[in-house]
Structure 1
Amino acid sequence: MDSLLDFEECVKDSPEFRLKLELFEADVSVLETQLDKVMKLCGKMVEAGQAYNAANQLFLAGLAELSTYHRKDGVISNCLNQFNQGLQEMVSFHTMLFDQTQRAISQQLTNLCSQFLPQLVETRREFVRIGDDLETAAVKSAQASRHKAADAERASHLLLATRKCYQHFALDYCLQLNTFKTQQRIDILNSVFSFVHAQFTFFHQGFDLLRDLEPTMKTMATQLSQFSADCAAKRKDLENTHLLVQQRDASGEPMVIPCPGSDDIIQGYLFKRSRRKTKTWKRSWFSIRDNQLLYRKSHKEEAVVLFEDLRLCAVKSLEHLDRRFCFELLSVQKCCALQADSEQLKQAWLSALQGSIDLAYRERADSQPKELPPPLCGGDSSPGPPAPRPSVLDVALRGPGNQRCCDCGEEEPRWASINLGVTVCIECSGIHRSLGVHLSKVRSLTLDSWEAEQLKLLCILGNNTVNRIYEARCSEEGRVKPRANSPRVEKETWIKEKYVEKRFVQNGSSDGARGGKGEAALRLYRAASAGDPVAMAAALAQGAEVNGSIAEETGRTALIGAAVGGSLLACEFLLLNGANVNHRDLRGQGALHAAATAGHTGQVCLLLKRGANQYAVDERGQDPLAIAVETANADIVTLLRMARMNEEMRDSEGVFGAMGDDETFQDIFRDFSDMASHDPERLSRRQFSRGGGEEEEEEEEEEEEEVVKGGAGETVNSRQHGVGKTS
Structure 2
Amino acid sequence: KIEKDKRELAKQHGMVRREVSGGEIAEEMEKERRTFQLNMCEYLIKVNEIKTKKGIDLLQNHIKHCSSQLNFFQECLNTTAKLKQFTEKLIPELQSMKIRQDEEKKQLCSLRDQLKTVLQLEQKEDPGNKQAGYTMHQLQGNKQYGTERSGTLFKKSDGLRKVWQKRKCTISHGYLTISHSMPNRPPAKLNLLTCQVKLNMDDKKCFDLVSHNRTYRFLAEDEQDCVAWVSVLSNSKEEALNMVFSKAQGGGESSQQELTQAIIQEVRGMPGNRECCDCSAPDPTWLSINLGILICIECSGIHREMGVHLSRIQSLSLDKLATSELLLARNISNSGFNSIMEANLPSFSLKPTVHSDMAFRKKFIISKYVEKKYAKRQPAAPCSSLPEAVKDKDIFSLLQAYAENVDLSEPVLAPLQEPGETILHLAVLLADRTSLHIVDFLVQNSRSLAKQTAEGNTPLHYCCSHNKPECLKLLLKAKANITITNEAGETALDVARRMRHPLCEELLLQAQNNQFNPNVHVEYEWWLGQDDMHESDEDLDEKVRS
TM-score, normalised to structure 2's length?
0.44
Q: Which has the larger share of helix?
A: 1
TM-score, normalised to structure 1's length?
0.34
